[in-house]
Structure 1
Amino acid sequence: MQSIKVADYLNHRPVTFKQDMRVESAVEKLLQSGQSGGPVIDEARRVIGFLSEQDCLKKMLEATYQNESHSVVSDVMTKEPLCVKREDSIVQMADLMICNKPKVYPVVDDEGRLLGVISRANVLLALDKHLHDAYVSGHRYV
């Protein structure tokens, strides 16, 4: 089970954001992607933050009350997101996700550049597939 790696289940094409993007534009991207959040990246694709639906919800609610919004992603993003490596095990990811709040984690290389993201759904899929494969192979010889 430890041999199942993040690299085998990560989403290579996640929704991403730039720090100077308006929050309203970021919300549109989130809604179109169906993801609950995504990494904020710089010009070199290094992860500099993370933007979640929850981050946007607060700003959008404030904008509704004020009837205007001037916020950009850098105003609301999480500044030091939890990132993981492609070599990390799915079991480690599951443990991390049980103890921490994020539903989506950026997957980065050694320089902090974005390779993709892994979500709770990706981890559940990996665990389910492993358990199913173990069940099938365990009964194949009975």
Structure 2
Amino acid sequence: MESLLVTDYMSKRPVKLKINMPVAEAVERLLDSHQTGGPVVDENNKVVGFLSEQDCIRMMIESSYYREQVCRVEEIMHTEVLTVKPYSSILELAQQMLELKPKVYPVVDDDGYLLGNINRSDILRAIDKQLRSGYKEAS
């Protein structure tokens, strides 16, 4: 049976956003990384927030309406961040994702420092791999 721990399926190179970064730069990073959101970290790489595409869209609409373009990540990020530990179960996280909104979870160590992230596609990949290995054993 395949391991189903977050550490085995998480991205170890997540997009990292900084508190004082302009939202326009954060949007570029999200687009370049093809991620729907990303953790906001402080200068020590500790997760202090999360910024989603939805947050950015809202801000960009307001900016275009009011013709103001200077907004910082800290002004619109969520400070209550749902995170997951690398030793957490993929199946438990999948159950949590059915109930809660986030599509991307920052993976943090026990002190809150960013190690990576995991998203719905990663979860599906892990479960699919487990199911395929089960099918092979049954044949």
TM range (shorter): over 0.9
Q: Is the 8 A contact 2:85 2:108 kept in 1?
A: yes
1:127 equivalent in structure 2: 127
One-letter amino acid of the structure 1 residue matched with residue 87 of structure 2: E
- How much does 1:19 deviate? 0.6
Instruction: State the partner residue of 1:44.
Output: 44
The answer for the alignment partner of 1:10 in structure 2 is 10
Distance 2:33 2:118 in 1: 14
* Whole-angstrom CA distance in 2 between matches of 1:28 and 1:66: 21
Q: Using the alignment, how far apart are the partners of 2:85 and 2:31 within structure 1?
A: 27
TM-fit CA distance, 1:59: 0.1
**Partner Cα separation in structure 2 for residue 132 and residue 2 of structure 1:** 10
Q: Is the 8 A contact 2:63 2:69 kept in 1?
A: yes
Name 2:20's counterpart in structure 1: 20
Distance 1:33 1:104 in 2: 13
Aligned length: 139
- Equivalent residues in 2 for 1:37-76 (5 A)? 37-76=37-76
For the residues of structure 1 that align with 2:107 and 2:12, how far apart are their CA atoms? 9
Please give the alpha-carbon distance, in whole angstroms, between the structure 2 residues aligned to 1:2 and 1:59: 42
The Cα shift of 1:107 comes to 0.5
Contact 1:50 1:77 (8 Å CA) reproduced = yes
TM-score (norm 1): 0.95
Offset of 1:80 from its aligned partner? 1.4
Deviation at residue 48 of structure 1 after TM alignment: 0.2
Measure how far apart 1:26 and its partner are.
Answer: 0.5
Q: In structure 2, what residue type is equivalent to 1:46?
A: K
The 1-side partners of 2:76 and 2:138 are apart by 49
Q: What do you get for the CA RMSD once the two structures are aligned?
A: 1.2
Find the aligned partners of 1:103 and 1:10 in 2 and give their Cα distance: 13
Q: Which runs of 5+ in 1 are unaligned?
A: none
Identity %: 50
1:138 correspondence with 2:134: no
